[in-house]
Structure 1
Amino acid sequence: MSLQRHSLGHCSNNIELQNLTLVSEFHLMRISDDPELQPILFGLFLSMYLVTVLGNLIIILAVNSDSNLHTPMYFFLCNLSLADICFISTTVPKMIVNIQTHSKEIIYVGCLTQMSFLILFGCMDGLLLTVMAYDRFVAVCHPLHYSLIMNPRLCGSLVCLSLLISLVDSQAHNLIALQIIYFKDVKISNFFCDPAQLLNLACFNTFINNIVMYFVGAISGLLPISGIFFSYYKIVFSILKIPSKGGRYKAFSTCGSHLSVVCLFYGTAIGVYLGSAVSHSPRSTAVASLIYTVVTPMLNPFIYSLRNKDIKRAVKRLHRRML
């Protein structure tokens, strides 16, 4: 079966055969077209990618090597770190290769694959943050029953459920994209195959596709945000009932790192999409997307390691063992 797809210079109800052009690739946007900046951008993004992968791997190794950290909170943190590594690996390596080869092409199948994995691990990130919010809710609001509620079976089930929902979300987008035959253009105004922009290039946007998109968006976006908001609503009210200031600070400090990551992840994601709706500049939208897809996964390990004494101690022990 041919991997080629059709592109139209314009979309109309009466499509003339002579206006059709066979294409098998899309053109991604470059961060900069300045030749002098290419080596700098190559070094910058390669460094950011390596720091992200190394930082998240250190957290995974530190947690697994320290028996004191074999708790639900750190179990979810390991899965979040793994999802972050996969999330940034869907976009940055291709961007680095394109910078080095002075290319901006990506084949149709490659674009669809990148979009699929981007949605899968992006959704996984959001759902794991929701699960971690629930874990903090149980720890603060029901401390005496914490070990009973957050048992290994439930923790494993929550991670598997997050993965299943992410897979459904990813494949739903894939199914819609595979039905697209004609495109308005082959230029994607971002450095990766942005799902929203790819689907907006479709000449025919059916009502059923829109319904599916809104439904999937509600599951992958609205549901996690609502769960996190509800958990912290309960957490704040429980903390305010603690009489001593020291007790309130101790209770809230257990949520500090997670809350910082939530604000960074959803703050940048919402900012990107609100900014793209207001701004008509593709360049500014692409730069904003960099924060969401590259900077956020890179900062997560630092947020957890710098604000968490247990992680610091585990990393030091791991370092001594490796020497």
Structure 2
Amino acid sequence: MDLFFDRHRRLRTSDNIRAMVRETHLHTEDLIYPLFVLEEDGKRNAVKSMPGVHQVSLDYLDAEIDEVVNLGIRSIILFGVPKEKDEVGTEAYQQEGIVQRATRQIKANHPDLVVVADTCLCQYTSHGHCGVIKNQYVDNDATLPLLVQTAVTQAEAGADIIAPSNMMDGFVAAIRDGLDQAGYEHIPVMSYAVKYASAFYGPFRDAAHSTPQFGDRKTYQMDPANRLEAQREAESDVEEGADFLIVKPALSYLDIMRELKDRYPLPIVAYNVSGEYSLIKAAAANGWVDEREIVLEKLTSMKRAGADLIITYFAKDVAKWLNKG
């Protein structure tokens, strides 16, 4: 036959050749590990809907952090599970709040570990919503000062990055101004810029005890059908001073991630959320999928779509797999 066609398979003939031409790489330093810190003593509670994930009290925290650091993971994000809740989430912005105490403890033992503080009120409010409730509606502007107080106390405790996840309008501008006025102009803001009202969050709410007690969060989190709205949200946060942009959830929104990466010269963070984690854990437990292969493929797809960093509950597993080569 006298044919001419491209021989693409020439670059796939061995493991080493495939590695030579691989375009996207996943590294341990790309990973941010989420931790749920419990305001009780002597507790390491398994989260039933998230196999392998635990709520840990402060007396178990050191061992957890030691493992993370020994695996080469360079950053964590902290979520607090307080003992007491009220209508305005008071425990979120106390100097002795659980995230603030955990941050000081971590930085005392591992000062180089990057501590990202989730800045929201939902775990701390008795109603489970992310702000102040007035007439069964989350009052945007009344919520902003409480988020600022939370961010400032987290920075005072030693948090390296503030990550506001509440989806209030103007939350980046308010927090940036509050941090600057408090002398923390060097602390970056990792904004949950694009956060959809997603069905993938269910297991997280078990872990964080943050299920809304009435209604849902669709009046402040985004409609999953919308793409242009994501651009508007991200543009506002960039203009208000965000240093990182988070897309949450990650897997169903890779198109959004790519658009943000192409448009904005900021680090993009994928949040590989609890539902994405639990689905794979359940399928792997039943022998339906190869957990290692599917997780690495999934996280690599996020990197390929434009993520510079990935928040993932798989971080410890992935670090072990990558360390083995």
Normalised to the residue count of structure 1, the TM-score between the two structures is: 0.30
TM-score (normalizing by structure 2):
0.30
Greater helix proportion: 1
Higher CA-based Rg? 1
